[in-house]
Amino acid sequence: MTKITGGHITGFLASRRTDKWWFEPLWTGLGFLAFVIYTTWAMFQGDHYWWSAGQDGFGGYLSPFYSPLLFIKEGVSGSAPLDHAWFGSWPGWWPKLIPATPAILILAGPLSFRMTCYYYRKFYYRAYFMSPPACAVEGVPQKNYKGETMLLVFQNLHRYTLYIALGFVAILSYDGILSLFRGGDFGIGVGSIILIINPILLAGYAFGCHAFRHITGGSQDCFTCPNGEPTIRYKVWKGVSWLNGRHMFWAWASMLWVAFADIYVRMVASGQWVDYSTWSN
Amino acid sequence: MRLRNFQIYRGDNNEGTMEQYKTEVDQGMVVLDVIHRIQAEQAGDLAVRWNCKAGKCGSCSVEINGKPKLACMTRMNEYGADETISIRPLKAFPIMKDLVPEVSWNYEQNKRIAPFKPDPHKRNENGDYVMMQEDIDRVQEFRKCIECYLCQNVCHVLRDHNRKDAFVGPRFMIRLASLEMHPIDTEDRIPDIKDSYGSGMCNITRCCTDVCPEHIQITDNGIIPLKERVVDRYYDPVVKLFRWLFRKK
């Protein structure tokens, strides 16, 4: 590190801060890394993503990592019945080198939403790109810093990943309703509660998104035009702004919960955990 | 009373050193009080810019133990009794003397921004502009800015990468936001926000928001909404098609 005037220093990680500035990028970086490792592992398993206590008919628990089920590979332990697939049985043309797991077809959707999210960008630019790692701490030296104008210009399409995420909110909400039935009978289990909380948290995150805030009303200069009364868009924008002010909470809560929901379904489907419910087990 | 240890930068933009000082600290003192005591008792030529001592003039911005802060709003009881407290001038700007930075670059940026241009059709019969509170709440937040330039100083685009040629910095992004979102302003600054003022240079790591003494949500309420407006104009293919089809600006 080189000393410069003003008593400052310059160079990678140079700072005069005396507090634990490294703590936040460390815990956020490790937390998200743990999520990515677990998600990748769970995605490649391709089994134990479905549980209905062996009963046919409407209802059952479906891991959110595997929803929607575009194709289903039959005969796999803990897999859903074939009639749950949108497009039927697993395609024969699927390359043998790539595991035949329904999660691999859909996880890029919610991941793209999180990876272009303005909150996630803050934390991973800090934790992984170290640009900068913390405030008043010098990051990775770059000769000609470009920000998000060149390679990262795709971040501007965050609103399109939002549309994908809103689709997942609808699908996972349907899964939550599905979890209240087993063999066509209404009831409630611990898994039902977990799978209902999941889309609520995702909705809190998606509906508080900065792009959604812009679309609902942020793009407007006048909230009371044309008749001087607050418009419906303004009222929606206020609600979205409330969620947006807590965006970090919703981001982490929804991310951790979706992993927990997968763990729960996986453990129940594989017989490791007992799902307490109003149905007779 | 025990003496407390301080290190203060003494010098200019070419050379200087961190000088050691020991002084008493009374209950309730802020860092600016300590600087003034050292100035009065030990270093009469110590230069520090200050004015209101109430966190409203934005003059006494310094870096205390490496964190950009207002000296008048930083209480001494934030620090341990045995802790040596270092006080440095802002890193992102040239140093005039000791703790006084030369911030005129910011004034130049301000001059570049197209001024408020109200819509004359929005006058009422008395010739006054009438605005509803719901419309003005959003831009009033940005008017709280005291121009302390802590956000400019901590922005890594300016501080570490020295891209003052490409980015006006957070303070002027919120000034732009206050004009762009104004209900009766008619000027179109979006092309300049993208190209000349450099909205794409900001990677929204939010340090500007973290250090703002007025707690303005610079990133969430100012910069990101401007980036989204730039997306509308330049990056969203559907919006571009819509504008082209309906001949909208």
| DSSP 8-state code for residue B115 | P
Q: Does A135 touch chain B (CB under 8 A)?
A: yes
Q: Which residue type does B186 have?
A: T
Inter-chain touch A5–B210, beta carbons under 8 Å? no
Per-residue pLDDT of chain A (281 residues; tens, 9 = 90+): 666 789 999 999 999 999 999 999 999 999 999 999 999 999 999 999 999 988 888 899 999 999 999 999 998 999 999 999 999 999 999 999 999 999 999 999 999 999 999 999 999 999 999 999 999 999 999 989 999 998 888 999 999 999 999 999 999 999 999 999 998 999 999 999 999 999 999 999 999 999 999 999 999 999 999 888 999 999 999 999 999 999 999 999 999 999 999 999 999 999 999 999 999 75
Best residue in B98, B134, B190 for a mutation probing chain A (most A CBs within 10 Å): B134
pLDDT of residue A4: 77
The CA distance from A250 to the nearest CA of chain B, in Å, is: 15
Domain residue ranges in chain A: 14-208+245-269
Name the nearest CA neighbour of A157 among B164, B232, B204.
Answer: B232
Lookup: tokens for B11: 């010098």
Cβ atoms of residues A243 and A207 within 8 Å: yes
> Which residues from B are below 8 Å from A149, CB to CB?
198, 200-201
- φ/ψ of A168, rounded to 5, equals -70, -35
Best residue in B131, B136, B205, B217 for a mutation probing chain A (most A CBs within 10 Å): B205
Judging by DSSP bridges, how do beta strands B85-88 and B3-11 pair with one another? parallel
Inter-chain touch A219–B182, beta carbons under 8 Å? no
Task: Say what percent of chain B tops pLDDT 90.
Answer: 90
Lookup: tokens for B126: 């008395």
> Which residues from A are below 8 Å from B9, CB to CB?
6-7
Please give the Cα distance from A100 to A103 (Å, whole number): 9
Q: Reply yes or no on whether the pLDDT at B70 is more than 70.
A: yes
Report chain B's mean pLDDT, rounded to a whole number. Answer: 95
Quick one: fold of B104-245?
A: Fumarate Reductase Iron-sulfur Protein; Chain B, domain 2 (1.10.1060)
**Closest Cβ opposite residue B66 in set A15, A139, A153:** A15
Inter-chain touch B16–A131, beta carbons under 8 Å? no
pLDDT of residue B239: 85
| DSSP 8-state code for residue A216 | I
Inter-chain touch B224–A132, beta carbons under 8 Å? no
The CA distance from A164 to the nearest CA of chain B, in Å, is: 15
> Which residues from A are below 8 Å from B135, CB to CB?
221-224
Question: Is there a cis peptide before residue A132, judged by omega within 30 degrees of 0?
Answer: yes
CATH class as words, domain B3-101: alpha beta
> Which residues from A are below 8 Å from B201, CB to CB?
145-149
> Which residues from A are below 8 Å from B163, CB to CB?
145
Please give the Cα distance from A250 to A208 (Å, whole number): 8
Inter-chain touch B227–A15, beta carbons under 8 Å? no
In A, minimum Cα distance to B7 occurs at: A7
Residues of chain B with CATH 1.10.1060.10: 104-245
Instruction: Give mean pLDDT, residues B186-194.
Output: 97
The CA distance from A150 to the nearest CA of chain B, in Å, is: 9
Cβ atoms of residues B216 and B209 within 8 Å: yes
The Cα-based distances of A249 to A128, A274, B146 in angstroms read 20, 30, 30
What confidence tens digit (pLDDT) does each residue in B122-142 have?
Answer: 898 899 998 999 999 999 999
> Which residues from B are below 8 Å from A135, CB to CB?
67-68, 154, 205, 207, 210-211
Q: Does A118 touch chain B (CB under 8 A)?
A: yes
Q: Does A233 touch chain B (CB under 8 A)?
A: no
Please give the Cα distance from A68 to A85 (Å, whole number): 8
**Closest Cβ opposite residue B135 in set A19, A211, A224:** A224
Please give the Cα distance from A85 to A81 (Å, whole number): 8
What confidence tens digit (pLDDT) does each residue in B203-238 have?
Answer: 999 999 999 999 999 999 999 999 999 999 999 988
Inter-chain touch B86–A7, beta carbons under 8 Å? yes
Q: Reply yes or no on whether the pLDDT at B89 is more than 80.
A: yes
**Closest Cβ opposite residue B156 in set A139, A213, A221:** A139
pLDDT of residue B13: 94
β partners of residue A134: A137
Instruction: Give mean pLDDT, residues B17-40.
Output: 97
Best residue in B204, B223, B240 for a mutation probing chain A (most A CBs within 10 Å): B204
Residues of chain B with CATH 3.10.20.30: 3-101
**What's the gap between Cα A89 and its chain centre?**
27
Inter-chain touch A156–B211, beta carbons under 8 Å? no
Name residues whose C-beta falls within 8 Å of residue A100's C-beta, 6 or more positions apart in sequence. Answer: A46, A73, A90, A94
Name the nearest CA neighbour of B32 among B65, B54, B9, B13.
Answer: B54
Inter-chain touch A148–B200, beta carbons under 8 Å? yes
Given the structure tokens 């024969």, which residue do they identify? A92
Question: Which residues numbered 26-85 in A keep a CB inside 8 Å of some CB on B?
Answer: none
The CA distance from B1 to the nearest CA of chain A, in Å, is: 25
Please give the Cα distance from B200 to B193 (Å, whole number): 9
Please give the Cα distance from A256 to A253 (Å, whole number): 5
Question: Which residues numbered 239-278 in A keep a CB inside 8 Å of some CB on B?
Answer: 244-245, 247
pLDDT of residue A150: 87
Instruction: Give mean pLDDT, residues B45-67.
Output: 97
> Which residues from A are below 8 Å from B206, CB to CB?
122
Buried b (16+ CB within 10 A) or exposed e, A116-136: bbbbbbbbbbbbeebbbbbbb
